[in-house]
Structure 1
Amino acid sequence: MRELLRTNDIVLVSAVEALLDGADIGHLVLDQNMSIIEGSLGVLPRRLLVGNDDFAAARQLLSEAGLAHELRLDD
Protein backbone atom coordinates (compact mmCIF):
# COMPACT_ATOMS: atom_id res chain seq x y z
CA MET A 1 0.00 0.00 0.00
CA ARG A 2 1.09 3.55 -0.68
CA GLU A 3 0.18 6.80 1.02
CA LEU A 4 -2.07 8.92 -1.15
CA LEU A 5 -2.57 11.84 1.21
CA ARG A 6 -2.04 13.02 4.76
CA THR A 7 -4.28 15.62 6.35
CA ASN A 8 -5.85 16.90 9.56
CA ASP A 9 -9.03 17.76 7.64
CA ILE A 10 -11.57 15.04 8.46
CA VAL A 11 -14.02 16.46 5.92
CA LEU A 12 -11.40 16.05 3.19
CA VAL A 13 -10.78 12.47 4.29
CA SER A 14 -14.51 11.74 4.02
CA ALA A 15 -14.72 13.37 0.58
CA VAL A 16 -11.73 11.41 -0.73
CA GLU A 17 -13.13 8.18 0.70
CA ALA A 18 -16.41 8.84 -1.14
CA LEU A 19 -14.54 9.45 -4.40
CA LEU A 20 -12.51 6.28 -3.99
CA ASP A 21 -15.60 4.25 -3.06
CA GLY A 22 -17.39 5.58 -6.15
CA ALA A 23 -14.47 4.48 -8.32
CA ASP A 24 -14.31 1.09 -6.55
CA ILE A 25 -10.76 1.77 -5.34
CA GLY A 26 -9.95 0.07 -2.05
CA HIS A 27 -8.36 2.24 0.61
CA LEU A 28 -7.39 2.37 4.25
CA VAL A 29 -7.41 5.35 6.62
CA LEU A 30 -4.75 5.21 9.31
CA ASP A 31 -4.53 7.24 12.52
CA GLN A 32 -8.22 8.17 12.53
CA ASN A 33 -8.59 7.15 16.17
CA MET A 34 -5.53 9.02 17.40
CA SER A 35 -7.75 11.82 18.74
CA ILE A 36 -8.07 9.78 21.93
CA ILE A 37 -4.33 10.14 22.52
CA GLU A 38 -4.05 13.75 21.38
CA GLY A 39 -7.08 14.93 23.35
CA SER A 40 -9.31 15.61 20.31
CA LEU A 41 -7.18 18.56 19.19
CA GLY A 42 -6.87 17.34 15.60
CA VAL A 43 -3.11 17.85 15.46
CA LEU A 44 -2.21 14.35 14.27
CA PRO A 45 -2.91 13.90 10.56
CA ARG A 46 -4.85 11.00 9.11
CA ARG A 47 -3.12 9.02 6.37
CA LEU A 48 -5.07 7.58 3.47
CA LEU A 49 -3.50 4.60 1.70
CA VAL A 50 -4.42 2.77 -1.49
CA GLY A 51 -3.07 -0.43 -3.00
CA ASN A 52 -0.03 -0.27 -5.24
CA ASP A 53 -2.07 -1.36 -8.27
CA ASP A 54 -4.64 1.41 -7.71
CA PHE A 55 -2.22 4.19 -6.80
CA ALA A 56 -2.01 5.84 -10.25
CA ALA A 57 -5.78 5.64 -10.77
CA ALA A 58 -6.43 7.14 -7.33
CA ARG A 59 -4.02 10.02 -8.01
CA GLN A 60 -5.70 10.66 -11.35
CA LEU A 61 -9.15 10.59 -9.74
CA LEU A 62 -8.18 13.14 -7.10
CA SER A 63 -6.47 15.33 -9.68
CA GLU A 64 -9.60 15.35 -11.83
CA ALA A 65 -11.64 16.25 -8.73
CA GLY A 66 -9.46 19.33 -8.17
CA LEU A 67 -7.60 17.86 -5.22
CA ALA A 68 -4.14 17.48 -6.76
CA HIS A 69 -2.72 19.96 -4.25
CA GLU A 70 -3.65 17.57 -1.43
CA LEU A 71 -1.72 14.60 -2.83
CA ARG A 72 1.54 13.43 -1.30
CA LEU A 73 4.55 13.85 -3.53
CA ASP A 74 5.10 10.76 -5.64
CA ASP A 75 8.26 9.02 -4.41
Structure 2
Amino acid sequence: MKSKLLELEGTWEEIVAHSSELAGRRVRLTVLADEPTTKPLWEQIIEIGEQIPETEWDKLPRDLARNFEHYMYGSPKKE
Protein backbone atom coordinates (compact mmCIF):
# COMPACT_ATOMS: atom_id res chain seq x y z
CA MET A 1 0.00 0.00 0.00
CA LYS A 2 1.29 3.45 -0.90
CA SER A 3 1.35 6.05 1.84
CA LYS A 4 -0.37 9.35 1.25
CA LEU A 5 1.84 12.19 0.07
CA LEU A 6 2.21 14.82 2.77
CA GLU A 7 3.33 18.33 1.88
CA LEU A 8 4.45 20.68 4.63
CA GLU A 9 5.63 24.26 4.39
CA GLY A 10 6.74 26.48 7.23
CA THR A 11 9.72 27.39 9.35
CA TRP A 12 12.11 24.69 10.49
CA GLU A 13 10.54 24.77 13.93
CA GLU A 14 7.07 24.25 12.44
CA ILE A 15 8.29 21.30 10.34
CA VAL A 16 10.08 19.66 13.29
CA ALA A 17 6.78 19.71 15.18
CA HIS A 18 5.65 17.02 12.68
CA SER A 19 8.69 14.79 13.29
CA SER A 20 6.64 12.00 14.89
CA GLU A 21 4.47 11.78 11.73
CA LEU A 22 7.58 11.65 9.55
CA ALA A 23 9.59 9.12 11.59
CA GLY A 24 10.70 6.23 9.37
CA ARG A 25 9.37 7.87 6.18
CA ARG A 26 11.37 9.10 3.22
CA VAL A 27 11.30 12.88 3.02
CA ARG A 28 12.47 15.55 0.61
CA LEU A 29 13.50 18.91 2.00
CA THR A 30 13.59 22.06 -0.11
CA VAL A 31 14.83 25.25 1.53
CA LEU A 32 12.89 28.18 0.07
CA ALA A 33 14.42 31.57 -0.66
CA ASP A 34 13.65 34.29 1.83
CA GLU A 35 10.61 36.33 0.99
CA PRO A 36 11.51 39.78 -0.32
CA THR A 37 11.73 42.40 2.39
CA THR A 38 11.17 45.31 0.04
CA LYS A 39 7.65 46.55 -0.53
CA PRO A 40 6.03 46.25 -3.95
CA LEU A 41 6.65 49.23 -6.23
CA TRP A 42 3.02 50.37 -6.13
CA GLU A 43 3.16 50.58 -2.30
CA GLN A 44 6.38 52.59 -2.48
CA ILE A 45 4.80 55.00 -4.98
CA ILE A 46 1.77 55.50 -2.71
CA GLU A 47 4.03 56.24 0.26
CA ILE A 48 6.02 58.78 -1.74
CA GLY A 49 2.80 60.43 -2.93
CA GLU A 50 1.53 60.66 0.64
CA GLN A 51 4.64 62.68 1.59
CA ILE A 52 3.85 65.40 -0.96
CA PRO A 53 1.88 68.27 0.57
CA GLU A 54 -1.63 68.89 -0.77
CA THR A 55 -0.55 72.40 -1.86
CA GLU A 56 1.93 70.84 -4.29
CA TRP A 57 -0.71 68.48 -5.74
CA ASP A 58 -2.94 71.55 -6.27
CA LYS A 59 -0.29 73.04 -8.59
CA LEU A 60 -0.65 70.22 -11.11
CA PRO A 61 -2.82 70.97 -14.14
CA ARG A 62 -6.29 69.40 -13.91
CA ASP A 63 -5.92 67.98 -17.43
CA LEU A 64 -2.50 66.40 -16.81
CA ALA A 65 -3.63 62.84 -17.60
CA ARG A 66 -5.27 63.89 -20.88
CA ASN A 67 -2.48 66.28 -21.91
CA PHE A 68 0.58 64.57 -20.45
CA GLU A 69 2.47 64.72 -23.76
CA HIS A 70 1.74 68.44 -24.02
CA TYR A 71 3.19 69.16 -20.57
CA MET A 72 6.13 66.77 -20.99
CA TYR A 73 7.08 67.28 -24.64
CA GLY A 74 5.22 70.35 -25.85
CA SER A 75 2.94 68.53 -28.29
CA PRO A 76 -0.41 70.19 -29.10
CA LYS A 77 -2.96 70.18 -26.27
CA LYS A 78 -6.02 67.93 -26.49
CA GLU A 79 -9.19 69.68 -25.46
TM, length-normalised to structure 2: 0.26
TM, length-normalised to structure 1: 0.27
Q: Which structure would you say has the larger Rg?
A: 2
Q: Which has the higher helix share?
A: 1
Q: Which has the higher strand share?
A: 1
- Which has the higher relative contact order, 1 or 2, with Cα contacts under 8 A spaced 6 or more apart? 1
